[in-house]
Amino acid sequence: MDAKEIKTHIVHLEKAKDDKIVLEILNTLKREIKPTEKLLRETKVGIAVNKHKSSENKEISQLVTKIIKYWRDEVSKEKKQKSGSVTAKKPMPETSSTTPSNGNEPKKEEKYVAHQPRNDKNDGVKTEVYENKMRNNCVRVLYNALCFDSEHPPHAVLAVAKDIEREVFKAEKMDTSSNSKYAQRLRTLTSNLRQKNNPELRQRVIDGELAASQLINMSTKELAPESLKKELEEIKKKNLFNAQGATQERAVTDRFTCGKCKEKKVSYYQLQTRSADEPLTTFCTCENCGNRWKFS
């Protein structure tokens, strides 16, 4: 499956509301994608799939976990193979055969496997990086918010936590031992990062897709879990529909058929919701079952 086909499946996945359709698309992606680092980065399919990890349907959430793990493992194998290939082809330096190796050559990072719940203490991480106790505590809290379900090594997670704290520190121009705006901003960030139903945000931050400078300027709505964003959007649409219905004079007709109960007793009204050269939007309500829909 190429990038274009994958992006088409992503669109269908985002629009899918039925669990059966979601499962069908996920299984297709699992079966037909040959994961490479380039392909996953180009299509961002991992982010689209991971959004369903918090699904109430256990079959979906478990399938997502398997897919993401499989893709990560395959990309890790790919990196190892590339690393081995480069090492094999790289010419040996022209030095004396008695020259010892210093043992400091960089190594490819392995996926971090935790044997106990992750936090700064269990990971053996020292978050005392500043003389300021408040800043050190904020680094610690950020680390714990980012690491608990991550497979990134401790030093990588710590680097991200330090970047976020540093950006907030600069933004709030903190120069004393106490700063309420600094503390409040970090409380908001850590609260959103550590939510179990917000894995997409943590993943984007730790993977470097979302820079610390961008993260600290995101609104509360932007930081919210995808599931909550969808719920708020549905509530907004419903309230708009109800508000429009309350102020418009309704006419009852038998020209429309309810898609739910198939009755033809339907009340409707029309509004110009788009530009003047676009057709009116018709809002319909079935007088029999209360089903509502709209069309242009």
Give 7-53 pLDDT, tens digit per residue.
888 888 888 888 888 888 888 888 888 888 888 888 888 888 888 88
Q: Taking the chain, what is the end-to-end CA distance rounded to the nearest angstrom?
A: 36
Of 153, 148, 200, 222, the C-alpha closest to 44 is 200
Any domain includes 50: yes
In this structure, the answer to whether residues 279 and 213 fall within a common structural domain is: no
Mean pLDDT of 248-276: 82
Q: Is 55:67 a contact under the CB 8 Å cutoff?
A: no
Helix (H) or strand (E) holding 87: helix 58-89
In this structure, the answer to whether residues 221 and 262 fall within a common structural domain is: no
Mean pLDDT of 122-140: 91
Domain that holds residue 143: 133-228
Any domain includes 263: yes
The per-residue b/e assignment along 239-276, b for 16 or more CB within 10 angstroms, e otherwise, is eeeeeebeeeeeeeeeebebeeeeeeebbbbeeeeeee
Q: Is 165:186 a contact under the CB 8 Å cutoff?
A: yes
Confidence at 99, pLDDT banded by 50, 70, 90:
very low
In this structure, the answer to whether residues 73 and 25 fall within a common structural domain is: yes
In this structure, the answer to whether residues 215 and 289 fall within a common structural domain is: no
To the nearest whole percent, how much of the chain has pLDDT over 70? 81
Q: For residue 27, give both structure tokens.
A: 């299984």
Mean of the per-residue pLDDT values for the chain? 81
In this structure, the answer to whether residues 168 and 211 fall within a common structural domain is: yes
Any domain includes 118: no
Model confidence, pTM: 0.45
Q: What is the dihedral of CA 82, 87, 89, 95, to 10 degrees?
A: 170
Any domain includes 85: no
Determine the Cα–Cα distance for residues 66 and 100; give it in Å rounded to an integer: 44
Domain count, the chain: 3
Q: Among 48, 80, 112, identify where a domain stops.
A: 80
Q: Is 141:186 a contact under the CB 8 Å cutoff?
A: yes
Confidence at 251, pLDDT banded by 50, 70, 90:
confident
Determine the Cα–Cα distance for residues 236 and 76; give it in Å rounded to an integer: 42
Q: Give the β-pairing of 266-271 and 251-253.
A: antiparallel
In this structure, the answer to whether residues 256 and 177 fall within a common structural domain is: no
Determine the Cα–Cα distance for residues 13 and 24; give it in Å rounded to an integer: 9
Phi/psi-derived region of residue 124, left when phi > 0, alpha when psi is between -120 and 50, beta in every other case: left
Q: For residue 169, give both structure tokens.
A: 């520190």
Mean pLDDT of 68-74: 87
In this structure, the answer to whether residues 157 and 197 fall within a common structural domain is: yes
Any domain includes 98: no
Q: What is the pLDDT of residues 145-187, one digit of tens each?
A: 999 888 899 999 999 999 999 999 988 876 555 578 888 889 9
Compute the C-alpha angle 173/121/119, nearest 5°: 75
